[in-house]
Chain A
Amino acid sequence: MTVAHDSRAQRALETVAAWLLAVLWALPLLYAAWAAFHDSGDSARFDLAAPLTWKNFVYVWGAAPFPTYFLNTFLLVTLIIVVQFTLSTLAGYAFARFRFPGRDLMFVLVLLQLMIMPDVLIVENYRTLNAMGLIDTIVAIGMPYFGSAFGIFLMRQTFKAIPRELDDAARIEGAGSLLTLWKVYVPLAKPVYLAYGLVSVSYHWNNFLWPLIVTNSVSSRPLTVGLQIFSSGDQGIDWSIITAATLLSAGPLLVAFLLFQRQFVQSFLRAGIR
């Protein structure tokens, strides 16, 4: 959407501005990388001759059960994605294509949840999960998020946009509602699922407060809580170690984004989220 009579100077200026902003934005990460790859003593100074080292990462990997934390986080986001997709798809379909008593009221209530995040209700949710005996499990971390207003809203909008002729075509073939959902709606909504999935994974991979409250032991602890527990000595913080731990735990997502950057952005574009 460039306007035709852009002057060369203007474009050059914009390029410089874009780059300056990019460097500014990347500075914290670059700083962290500097500290992580250098010895503790060299971390705060910028002596280019100072030797690079892997030892911080080695130490971090051995000092806390990061492999377990990785596994827990992976299981957690997988569980959440699967359940959220299923429930949101069914509910979105119901709102988009079915008439049932109280539907509009229900939709308003769903929209309300968009504003009320589970974080605000930690005390009560803790009580509920305690009563269910699920404290300190991965399932407990995910449960408050299984019902996702964002997901329902997204799927409803997406399904509504699908032309009804496809419905009719499916019915002529003899398909019932659920089969139509599976064969027609779901495939057409793939880009939306991708976008939703990416948003959800990003959110839950990085969720901290609720998992902190609800987990006690290593067997259920996700990466964020593990990282924080690792970094929070009351005395003598060692920045090289902490930045190494930070990069280690952020690594997978960063790499994934590097590799899938184009797809990520494309999926948002195709989903036409507006």
Chain B
Amino acid sequence: MKRTFRSLMIAATAVAAVAAALPARAVEISFYYPVAVSGPLTKIIEGLAADFEKANPDIKVKPVYSGNYGETLAKALTANKSGQPPQVAVLVASDALTLIDEDAVVAVDDFVKTPSDKAWLSGFFPAFMMNGRYEGKTYGVPFQRSTQVLYWNKAAFRDAGLDPSKPPQNWEELVEFGKKLTVRDASGQVTRWGLLVPSGVTSHWFLQGFTTPNKAVLTNEAGTETFLAGAGVVESLQYWVDLSRKHKVMPEGIIDTGTAPKEFIEGRAAMMHHSTGNLTNVKNNAKFEFGVAMLPARKGRGSATGGGSIYIFKKSSPEQREAAFKFVKWMTSAEQAARWSIETGYVAPRQDAWDLPVMKKYAQDFPPAAVALEQLPFCVAEFSTHDGPRTTKALEDAIEAAITGNKTPQKALTDAQAEATRILRTWKK
């Protein structure tokens, strides 16, 4: 009996020893990502994921392509509500408050331990950290950030007798140039507009392209109060409306955000406000020489930051969260940030990425890429409050009402402010 027992013990120990020596089963993390610009980004993401797995054999990354930003957010939160969220997702930087209010994400600070971690976290441009921070902690790590810039068609400028190397520097010049660039045919129909400023989805972001140079503030930092009917904001919206209704350099009615780049590329408009995220698209498809500049100035310069940050979700096991952190840190470190920026046209959100030789060469070969960087010191956070989707809708309804001429900018924004105040009343402390 004793003999059998001893052999059993030896056998058991042997098995245990072998089991301990075997590599641990890989931790699996799923990664929701949006495709906010057209292009073969799926392949690039999968390539990045594969490279990460090679460097970290104990982690398996499953990238899931989830549509545009809005759809990815809806998917992520829907999955979160059913108890099975992704471990990592790229969502709009200004979604941070929504995610925090749904108790869906964790602060990255909880994982920052080593000096290299700390160096990593502090290496991002401050402008890009603004939307992701809440009560002193960082929830959204900048990944595919952007700013708004002015694209201009140099050939069109030449045709209109303007210096093709000099984009409009301020609001007056924007109108002046726009008028010269707008071409009408014999019957009075416009064949080429001077300017396009999208007023479709994310119109609030394009409004910030006017309020930021006008130094008008839209919300408080805590996201509990809005100032939509302030004089500076009304002035900015009025200027925007005047561009189409008074100066007639822009088509009337809502300008679809997604079709605007195509219309610019087709030569239907000589200038456009749009995201740096469109750089690669325009570069590849425009048959004319084009330039990229900071948005025209007024009291100052700048635009809102935009684009996506990467978040770690709460409802996962501790191992998954650690693995997620490793992935996030890797994806947003200098080499990957540079690679992603070059492939997509998004702005690499950290200085050490720009210092890399490959980025220096890219910026040299393609100067427009560096314009966004120049504008960064003047940039502000994207509009974001608690119950963000609702307040954003109130603001965008106001923009749409003003642009289509249904309400004056003053009335539209006053109504929006009332609505936003009503929405935020339970959040004010």
- A interface residue numbers (CB < 8 A to B): 40-41, 44, 59, 63-64, 126, 130, 135-136, 212-213, 216-218, 228-229, 232-239, 241
Contact = CB atoms under 8 A, between A and B. Distances in A.
A235 B285 contact: no
A232 B262 contact: no
Given A41-B287, A218-B64, A234 B82 contact: no
A235 B257 contact: yes
B262 to A, nearest CB: 6
A163 to B, nearest CB: 51
Contacts of A239: 262
A6 to B, nearest CB: 45
A229 B66 contact: yes
Given A41-B285, A130-B81, A228-B67, A235 B262 contact: no
Contact of B37 (A130, A229, A233): A233
B40 interface: yes
B67 to A, nearest CB: 4
Given A218-B65, A233-B258, A235-B275, 15 more contacts: A44-B262, A44-B266, A135-B82, A216-B75, A228-B71, A229-B67, A233-B35, A233-B38, A233-B68, A235-B38, A235-B258, A235-B274, A236-B281, A237-B259, A241-B38
A236 B81 contact: no
Interface string B57-80: 000000011111101000100110
Contacts of A236: 37-38, 258, 261-262, 278, 281-282
Interface string B10-46: 0000000000000000000010001111101010000
B277 interface: yes
10 contacts: A59-B40, A63-B40, A130-B82, A135-B79, A136-B79, A229-B71, A234-B69, A235-B261, A236-B37, A236-B281
Contacts of A234: 34, 36-37, 68-69, 201-202, 257-258
B346 to A, nearest CB: 11
B406 interface: no
Q: Which 3 A-B pairs have the closest CB atoms?
A: A229-B67, A236-B281, A237-B258
Contact of B42 (A63, A216, A233): A63
A44 B261 CA distance: 14
Contacts of A235: 36-38, 257-258, 261, 274-275, 277-278, 281
B84 interface: yes
Nearest to B200: A234
A64 B37 contact: no
A71 B282 CA distance: 35
A135 B82 CA distance: 7
B65 to A, nearest CB: 7
Given A41-B285, A237-B38, A216 B79 contact: yes
Contacts of B262: 44, 236-239
A114 B142 CA distance: 49
Contacts of B84: 135-136
A56 to B, nearest CB: 12
Contacts of B81: 130
Interface centre among A41, A126, A232, A236 (most CB of B within 10 A): A236
Nearest to B281: A236
Contacts of A41: 266, 285, 287
Contact of A238 (B38, B65, B66, B68): B38
A238 B278 CA distance: 12
Interface in B89-112: none
A114 B282 CA distance: 50
A235 B256 CA distance: 10
Nearest to A39: B285
A22 to B, nearest CB: 29
A136 to B, nearest CB: 8
A135 B71 CA distance: 17
A257 to B, nearest CB: 29
Contacts of A237: 38, 258-259, 261-262
Contacts of B69: 234
A67 to B, nearest CB: 14
A130 B266 CA distance: 47
Interface string B191-212: 0000000000110000000000
Interface centre among A64, A213, A234, A241 (most CB of B within 10 A): A234
A36 to B, nearest CB: 15
Contacts of A216: 64, 66, 75, 78-79
B285 A40 contact: yes
Interface in B279-314: 281-282, 285, 287
A170 to B, nearest CB: 49
Nearest to A233: B38
A59 B39 CA distance: 10
B404 to A, nearest CB: 22
Contacts of B34: 234
A131 to B, nearest CB: 9
Contacts of B285: 40-41
Interface in B139-164: none
A273 B202 CA distance: 48
A210 to B, nearest CB: 12
Nearest to A239: B262
